[in-house]
A = this chain, B = another copy of it.
């Protein structure tokens, strides 16, 4: 709906990224200068902040600090993993959201997250439309996993990829420093999609990469893994770098950590808590080869190392936030902001497009199987062509005392009465 006048509500959800706050900066700075927008709110801890009527008045923040959000990792407003029920089953939460939106005259709602969050965003959008409440709803994507449908890539992926490739190059140099053998098993995030794990191949492109790369797209066989490592060791003086996705599964679709008896907890979406597969595989491969093995888990660092973020990613992610506001004010609703790579250009160029939320929700985009080579241990040149433009440019992070100067928000809560 065009010409809506009212408040803007922005909320962050799901696992954070190095650059997720760049979208917040984009939404806030664009919102604050848009005449149709009467107030700019940021919800504390995603949808829960709205349900609890806990959100911040962004007009109270210094613009300089909002600018610093571009280089501040993790969700500055706080995130949440909260699954809305289907409104047809239980509409309690939806009624409450509508109540809060009405109370504060929220006419623009932006939800920043991955698959699950786009599903939440879609449900809210549909419910508000059905209720006849005039509100424009736009999803702002983010995920290091790069698994959202309908977008060339996802905000946050490139910075994680740049960190992973840089780190694999550095580990490559370190791991071969002795004249004795060493096997490194490096674990990278990615539940079902191997985009991040594949990013290790960017280090290969620079000649300092991994010998073996295992994506969750291909069934993982422990015996084949051992044989692969032994092969590399035999050719390479007992030196081998193997990169594995945390989400590798056996031929039955069982996570390797679970299949090997290392089951973790599950979150409110039913996802298993991952991590630890490098350590488990390291133990197995050490026993099988007798060579020294070092498991390395890139852990939270791969999603929060803002000091190594891609400038291209920061700028695109900031722009995605601004685009969301512009689109909503122009009358768009029930959509997600997408990236479209401009074809036929000699240099990389990316444009924003809009995709219906229901198409974006709950569909996972995985790495094309034809990009996985060498009997499931390598990545083709197509991936390099795809990913390399995204990691270009260095972040120009402000430093203070030789350390990052991250944004400091006042977080002035809006009064409930």
A: residues with CB less than 8 A from B are 15-16, 45, 48, 72-75, 78-81, 162, 165-167, 169-171, 173-179, 184, 202-203, 205-206, 208, 265, 273, 275-276, 279, 292, 294, 296-297, 299-301, 303-308, 310, 388, 391-394, 399-404, 406
Contact = CB atoms under 8 A, between A and B. Distances in A.
A81 B180 CA distance: 9
A78 B401 contact: no
A296 B189 CA distance: 14
Given A401-B388, A406-B208, A173 B308 contact: no
A179 B45 CA distance: 7
Given A294-B300, A307-B308, A78 B177 contact: yes
Given A388-B401, A406-B169, A294 B299 contact: yes
B177 A305 contact: no
A402 B163 CA distance: 10
A73 B307 contact: no
A300 to B, nearest CB: 5
Given A48-B179, A403-B203, A166 B388 contact: no
Contact of A403 (B169, B176, B265): B169
A81 B178 contact: yes
A301 B170 CA distance: 8
A173 B406 CA distance: 10
Q: Residue among A79, A308, A388, A403 with the most chain B CB within 10 A?
A: A403
B292 A170 contact: no
Contacts of A169: 403-404, 406
A389 to B, nearest CB: 9
Nearest to A401: B388
A292 to B, nearest CB: 7
16 contacts: A45-B179, A74-B177, A78-B177, A80-B178, A167-B305, A169-B403, A169-B406, A170-B301, A174-B303, A174-B304, A184-B300, A205-B401, A206-B401, A276-B279, A301-B301, A391-B401
Nearest to A265: B292
Contacts of A176: 74, 78
Which 6 pairs of residues, A with B, have the shortest CB-CB distance? A74-B173, A174-B304, A170-B304, A391-B402, A392-B402, A74-B174
A177 B79 contact: yes
A35 to B, nearest CB: 33
Nearest to A279: B279
A275 B275 CA distance: 16
**Most chain B beta-carbon contacts within 10 A, residue among A81, A166, A174, A184:** A174
A86 to B, nearest CB: 24
Contacts of A304: 170-171, 173-174
Which has the most chain B C-beta neighbours within 10 Å: A170, A206, A300? Answer: A170
A244 to B, nearest CB: 15
Contacts of A208: 406
Given A79-B178, A170-B306, 19 more contacts: A74-B174, A74-B177, A78-B176, A78-B177, A78-B179, A80-B179, A81-B178, A162-B403, A165-B403, A170-B304, A170-B305, A170-B307, A174-B303, A175-B300, A205-B401, A206-B403, A265-B292, A276-B279, A391-B402
A114 to B, nearest CB: 14
A117 B382 CA distance: 46
